[in-house]
Amino acid sequence: MTLEILTADSLAPIRHGFFTRKGGASSGIFAGLNCGTGSSDQTEIVAINRSRVAEAIGVNAEKLASVHQVHSSDAVHVTTAPDPKPKADGLVTATPGLALSVLTADCQPVLFADADAKVIGAAHAGWKGAQTGIMEATVNAMVDLGAARERIHAVIGPTISQRAYEVGPEFFDIFLDEDPENTRFFAGGDGDRMHFDLPGYGLMRLRATGIASAEWTRHCTYFDPDRFYSYRRSVHQKDPDYGRLISTIVL
């Protein structure tokens, strides 16, 4: 099966892709293109999947840069694929031929590009990273490399949609304490439960940075199991583990 790669016009002509799970070598609960080195999938199979991604994006596998994601607000500048991987959730570069990548399975994968300055970025933005500023940190790191805010375009890839993201009152309080206006990202659920609009919140944070544009591909990871891995779906199905999707961008 061939790989399926989602792209966005606003990031063109920079090469990029939000990869679905189609076209990989993994089997079982990981069936498809599982790129999660931290998963319990076979190491050699994950390596095959990552090599297929690198080939599809036009680089050698050793040029696929990533970080050890920890739901932080830290973004790092890389000129090579770092080994060991630094603990961070955003990475930026101006180095041609280096592909930036992030892994997700419900969290927001965000790709950034200033095509004129030839500066790119990628961020893993779950609710905690988004709330504490990972997207802003990635934009700031790009500006430090010579990008201009008014030229940066950002795209949120497949992530969990509001109707699938049920949360409790303590979660709501975190966002209410940040800004009472954040109530607009919550919808009523059963009892004291609510549904949180993660991509809506992410778009608000991105647009507040003053960048040229921010959009979401409008793909929900939870409700499309044939195309996407989902941590939350795996929990509901009582699966022992779950695959990770990869999103990449390269100059």
> Against a cut of 0.95, is the pTM above it?
yes
Q: Which of 19-23, 77-81, 187-191, 198-202 has the lowest mean pLDDT?
A: 187-191
pLDDT at 81: 96
- Residues with Cβ within 8 Å of 173's Cβ and at least 6 positions away in sequence, in order, are none
Phi and psi dihedrals of 149, rounded to 5?
-50, -45
188 confidence band (pLDDT: 50, 70, 90) = confident
Q: What is the DSSP annotation of 217-247?
A: ---BSTT-TTT---HHHHHHTT-S----EEE
Residues of the chain above pLDDT 70, percent: 100
The confidence score (pLDDT) of residue 189 equals 82
Domain spans, the chain: 5-161+197-250
Mean pLDDT of 115-121: 98
pLDDT tens profile 30-67: 999 999 999 999 999 999 999 999 999 999 999 999 99
Q: What's the per-residue H, E or C state across 128-197? A: HHHHHCHHHHHHHHHHHCCCCHHHCEEEECCECCHHHCEECHHHHHHHHHHCHHHHHHEEECCCCCEEEC
Backbone dihedral region for residue 103 (phi beyond 0: left; psi -120 to 50: alpha; all else: beta): beta
CA distances for 48 relative to 36, 44, 67, angstroms: 12, 6, 19
Give me the chain's average pLDDT, please: 97
How many CB atoms neighbour CB 143 within 10 A? 18
Residue 111 has pLDDT above 90, yes or no: yes
64-65 vs 213-216, strand pairing mode:
unpaired
CATH number for the domain running over 5-161+197-250: 3.60.140.10
Q: Please give the average per-residue pLDDT across 131-151, as a whole number.
A: 98
Helix (DSSP H) and strand (DSSP E) numbers for the chain = 6, 14
Q: List pLDDT tens digits, range 233-247.
A: 999 999 999 999 999
pLDDT confidence band for 190 (50 / 70 / 90): confident
DSSP at 32? B
Q: Which residues pair with 56 in a beta bridge?
A: none
Q: Is the per-residue pLDDT at 136 higher than 90?
A: yes
**Is the pLDDT at 1 greater than 80, yes or no?**
no
* N residues, the chain: 251
249 neighbors 122 (Cβ within 8 angstroms): yes
